[in-house]
Structure 1
Amino acid sequence: MVEMFLDPLSLILSLIGCALYYGDTVDARYVVLSLVVFSLSFPGSSLLSMRPRRVVRQTVIGWMLIAFILLFFGYASQYIENFPYEVVVAWLVAAPLTQLTAHFVARSYLQRAAAKEENQTKVIIVGCNDIGVSLAEQFIGHPYLGVRCVGYFDDRSPERITQLNGLPLLGRLRDLASYVKANGIDQIYLALPMASQPRILSLLDDLKDTTVSIFFAPDIFLTDLIQGRMDYVAGVPVVAVCDTPFTGINGMVKRLSDIVLSIIILLLISPLLLAIAIGVKMSSPGPALFRQRRYGLDGKEIVVYKFRSMTVQEDGGVVKQATRNDQRITPFGGFLRRTSLDELPQFINVLQGRMSIVGPRPHAVSHNETYRKLIKGYMVRHKVKPGITGWAQVNGYRGETETVEKMQKRIEYDLEYLRTWSLGLDLWIIVKTVAVVFNDRNAY
């Protein structure tokens, strides 16, 4: 609840503070702007469990996005002219600083408040297996949750249980209901295997005479979930195990951001595109653009555009990755590859809807057919459109992947991107890409 209102109130209070500081009257203009800001920032981001460095990153990127929307529509409608210039500039700087201050003050206060026994939720975990232990670790590692894990219940003897995380084994399942009544337990988490249905039903029947809240954490969640969540199909509950993050409003936001950014970028770089095309034609015989087949959304083949950087145009059943000092790369092509300028025509692919600005990098079809047999979950990366840049590339896995282990790491980052996608993450990847291009030495 605190975090839901923290960002909106911080932004509104900083706006009012800037107006008062410069002697402006807080009237209907500011009320309207405050309502717009509240609608854009509510509910606030949940940042308590994040590291301070990531809190700063998320806050700054989130504010940049809101500020861009406000400035764009403010200038388009001329509503921004109702506010003094110095107030607008001061607020653009003060808003994220106020947000960060509020988050770190709340972090300090809530940790102390959650540590008080009267504020804690008493929890029991049923099942000393991997998922039960993982739940306990999360409760212990996130003090802001205000949860005190009392211990485990399991029908196995203590000698057969190897992992308890320092928590006690309180008894067998038949003793659970009486323990809950006697000790004022608030919540129970059932981490039993799905195969234990008779035991689960019996346990639920025993607990009907208590007021405890019961949550089921089935062992299906031990799998590597991609956008795992509960959903409903015509009222029937289902569990999403592997799905794209770009459904509903998320898909609209992703596509709209791709269209707007790619149009802006193409307009800005059009002279550069022309100059590079001339340079490619002058440096070696052949076309300026190189077309290569790739796997796109849902594993369907697409054609991807790049500036030609080699003397050959390989697109057959076997495609050799570029390596350091590769003789096929032209001198001008080497410069294009090191600076990633050869990727610029792919903004046309983005406008066509074949690609996204941010997403897993597309591999040659022949590479896909090789690695899908070697790396578990390889094809899951195709649940989204391929990108010009990606989470793996800004984390050091750009360029040649000469070993299966390196490709495995690249896929791990791709899947992490699918699990944790947000518009803020996309913007952060774009910012980091600019820095990586000029400092990375992995592209040849």
Structure 2
Amino acid sequence: MRINTNVAALNSYNQLKNTQNNLSKSLSRLSSGKRINGAADDAAGLAISEKMNAQTRGLAQAQRNAQDGISMIQTAEGALKESHSILQRMRELAVQSGNDTNTADDRAEIQKEVDQLSQELTRIGKTTEFNTQKLLNGTVEDIKFQIGANEQQNMQVSISDMRGHALGVAGEVKTEETAAVTDGGDNTTDLGEGDYTVSGNLDDGLEMLNSDGVAVATSSNGLTWSASSGDDTITFTKGTVTSGTISIDGSGNATAEVGVENLGLEAGTYTVSGTDLLDENGNVVASDNGSLTTFSDPGGTDLVTFSAAVADGDTIEVGGVDVASQTSADKAITTLDDAIASVSEERSKLGAVQNRLDHTINNLNTAEENLTAAESRISDVDMAKEMMNMSKQQILSQAGTAMMAQANQLPQGVLQLLG
């Protein structure tokens, strides 16, 4: 018998230590609900589990991304719904103005509403935004919705420019201009003081009618007007006079609202300030190189060009589609039909994108569910099975403790040999 080395006690100790380690792991799994709490628990399983976890979290975020995309699309489509209503009303007014039961004054009042509606259409296009991003001003080109958990799993969406000018319903640029009545040399006043109404169009010819409806001057280009009887002329230089009124004062100065080809200005009121063109809120929308004839936006695109320099402080009006005469109103109906079709096409496209995103979300949800289940089978603990294991380890721990106590008693048997 040996007492210096109690081999039985050492063996019991080692077995008890292993049991305690196993019990500790079991308690850790039961308290966390995870089968793998550290790389040592299952190195390969940990790597697979973390890769799957990255995918499931990515799929969950992709679903939120798609929901945000739907919200953006709904915001844009909701604004276009109102744009549709505006265009329908403008078309209704164009049809009304196309009826010759209306006088020039009647059509002038109709034009006022058309101008206001065009401005509102542009305002909607300029201000509709989602998360501070403009949606309908033509800047939404090939934006990407990340609708997958991995690289390149996205979809592109573009929204066309839905402002008035892009839809073709922003009218001419109009500004007031003064020109002198020039005598042809016979020293006879052919065009006297008074207000004259502009009638006709550029295609068929323009007339300047007096209060009795008699043509006192004609023009083929809206710039140079020649007296019907006599040799007096009026020459406007900033732009064409195609509608409205030409007023002549006692000094022989003619004043009129002139129209300039609109290259990109939206409906509204603008003011020339130095070499800048300001909107109603004082924002710079275009600038000139100093000649005060061509104004371009910050991107360098020409918005309006005058045949002669405008002056600092001049007011420039941009109305809606022209309905001031029967001919122009008739043309406006077709223009508005095209605009309505453009908005319809855009709304249809956005609706299709929204439906696609709905299906995307459903697919992502299914993929996340299945992948989560697969990851769970690797990393999550089977609670019932682990409870059985813990009970086993607890019993072994108790037995090991008892056996270690017995082993510690064995050396005491030597005392009996000493008598």
Structure 1 length-normalised TM: 0.21
Compare CA radii of gyration and give the structure with the larger one.
Answer: 2
Higher helix fraction (1 or 2): 1
Higher strand fraction (1 or 2): 2
